[in-house]
Structure 1
Amino acid sequence: MSDVRVPRIMGILNVTPDSFSDGGKYVDVKSALGAARAMLADGADIIDIGGESTRPGAGRVDAATEIARTAEVVAAVAAEGATVSIDTTRSEVAREALRRGASIVNDVSGGAADPAMAAAIAESGCRVVLMHWRDHSADMYGRAVYGDVVAEVSAELRQRAAAMLDAGVAPERVILDPGIGFAKLPEHNWELLSRLDELGALGHPILFGASRKSFLGKLLADADGRPRPVDQREAASLATSVLAFDAGAWGVRVHDVRATADARAVWRATRHTR
């Protein structure tokens, strides 16, 4: 199946006490490394390590706390030979993670939260994921107003990519993420997923991340309107990943790596027969 494009699987490793799905599970190097090893064995291509929760309504931690949570974990996972991304909006956290062995910066603010981020990326030569973002988590839903969400997200991502290129980042190093759930209402998320292929016109690879997010819980709510619990959204998450594969996504960011790798294998098998 070497002729079939293989989307990447980015496994989520939050070393935080308060992330919406796995907060508090991996708060020391030993447990985090064990989780990373399991994801790599299950088929992850990238381990995405984050030290600050970006769940809706989350407050911020300072850079020193974020570095303390992530630096040693990044070094330990990179020492396994893994491709590591650091999930941060701060240039000082990114620089430390890159020094410790990360090779991708996953910036949910698209480089907008820290004016020094673009220079840090350009100087390192690493890859960068620029996510669509309009405000920090505590305030983002107040910015969830769109006419044509796909057109507006595309335009804003184009601006963020241009800022990176102007700073000296090579175009092939830039990956874009539509920011599912970030300053988006459920209807915005569904529209972005249904038209994800249109983002390919931006000329950069697309990373898609909908794993276990609240719009899936709302879709699967019970008869009384109670959202499906976070740990029961995996089948829906897998469905979004397969749709993203079909739309040409470069990769997906997920919690359940093994199930996603299985779904990817089935998807590739069907594409190989065409």
Structure 2
Amino acid sequence: MGKYFYTDGKEKYGPYSIEELRIQPISRTTKVWCYGMDKWTELSQVAELSNVLNSIPPEINTTPSIGKESSAVEPKTEAEPIHKVEPKTQPSKEIKKSSTFSKWVIAIIVVIIISLFGYAVIQNQSEVNQYNEIVANSYDSDEDFDIYVQKFYRDLEFYGIFPKKPKVQIIKFSKLDQLDNTTHIHGLSFGSGDDDRIEIYINPSTWKQFNKPMRYFLMYHELAHDVLNLDDLEPKSWNEGKLMYPAISSYENKNMDDFIESAHALFEEQSE
């Protein structure tokens, strides 16, 4: 009985007896050789090694069948389109709706801004036109309006109020009865907010009708606009009798004491 060599295709191992060959890491296709053989031969082709061959278990076929491959692939091809289509189509619709809504909101805001701006321009132009009309119809008179101005400043100083005396002082008559959209036709002042200007226009028809206390009410009322930058009070009953009450024509029953009390109440309030 000869001894055999075997090879793994790269190296050769041996020699081994038949009994030793049983325990080597060989298979049915392993090539063996011993003295007297012409070439390397598969173990299964050597009759003398049949006992060794019988001790080697057959190889396990691990190649998957075609049926199994197709069944493994099918679930992927069915599920894949569901996961791809669903996340892409829904956000696209939501983004489109959101974009359309945003455009509408922006358009509405732009329209509102343009409308407000247009209204402001028209309103401002209307005020400019009214002012130009008043100035065009204004005229000087023999009435000494400066008497009221000087007394107004003396009263302010008595209460510790020392406003800046303006460089420009314009007090004239102007026909205000023909003006449209006016709620205050006894007199109008345009120097409010400008410390360098007193500009007052008195309605001559009103001036003729007013008695002395009412004239003082009117002049102090307009001077308070320009010098103290005060606004008219609301024409409510609880404001009647106060200096900044706009409906001075209702003061025909007031006397000088009423005027002095009203003026001093305002100055005392401003000095606090």
The TM tier, using the shorter chain, reads under 0.3
* TM-score normalised per structure 1: 0.23
* TM-score normalised per structure 2: 0.23
- Please say which structure displays the higher CA radius of gyration: 2
Q: Which has the higher helix share?
A: 2
